[in-house]
Structure 1
Amino acid sequence: MKKESIVLGSGKVYITEFTNTIPEDDVIETEANLLGLVQGGASINYSPSFYECKDDLGLVSKKFITQEDAVFKSGVMTWNGKTLEKLCSTARITEDSESKTRTVKIGGAGNYDGKSYIIHFVHKDAVDGDIRVTIVGSNEAGFELAFAKDKETVINAEFKARPQDSEGTLILYKETAVA
Structure 2
Amino acid sequence: MEKIVLGSGKLYIDEFTGTLPEDAEIEVEEKLLGLIQSGASLSYKPSFHEAKDDLGLVSKKIITDEEAILKSGVMTWNGNTLEKLCSTARITEDKTKKIRIVKIGGAAKYNGKKYVLHFVHKDSVDGDIRITIVGSNEAGFELAFAKDKETVINAEFKAQPQDNEGTLILYKEEDSSITA
Q: Which TM-score band (shorter chain)?
A: over 0.9
CA RMSD, 1 decimal? 1.0
- For 2:12 and 2:48, the matched residues in 1 are separated by 32
Q: Normalized against structure 2, the TM-score is what?
A: 0.96
Helix, strand or coil: the match of 1:15? strand
Q: Which residue of the partner structure matches residue 103 of structure 1?
A: 101
- For 2:175 and 2:123, the matched residues in 1 are separated by 9
Structure 2 residue ranges without an equivalent (≥5): none
Q: Which residue of the partner structure matches residue 33 of structure 1?
A: 31
Structure 1 residue ranges without an equivalent (≥5): none
Q: Which residue of the partner structure matches residue 56 of structure 2?
A: 58
1:95-134 CA distances to partner (integer Å, 9 max, x unpaired)? Answer: 1211111110000001000000000000000000000000
Q: 2:22 aligns with which of 16, 24, 47?
A: 24
Contact 1:127-1:178 within 8 A present in 2 as well: no
Q: 1:158 aligns with which of 150, 156, 161?
A: 156
1:178 is displaced (CA, Å) by: 5.3
- For 1:38 and 1:177, the matched residues in 2 are separated by 25
Structure 1 runs (4+) deviating above 4 angstroms are none
- For 1:22 and 1:96, the matched residues in 2 are separated by 33
Q: 1:130 aligns with which of 116, 128, 131?
A: 128
TM alignment of 1:134-149, pairs within 5 A: 134-149=132-147
Count the aligned residue pairs: 177
Q: 1:91 aligns with which of 69, 89, 92?
A: 89
Q: Normalized against structure 1, the TM-score is what?
A: 0.97
- For 1:44 and 1:51, the matched residues in 2 are separated by 24
Amino acid at match of 1:85: E
1:177 is displaced (CA, Å) by: 2.9
Helix, strand or coil: the match of 1:32? helix
More moved, 144-153 vs 95-104: 95-104
Identity rate, percent: 76
Amino acid at match of 2:139: A
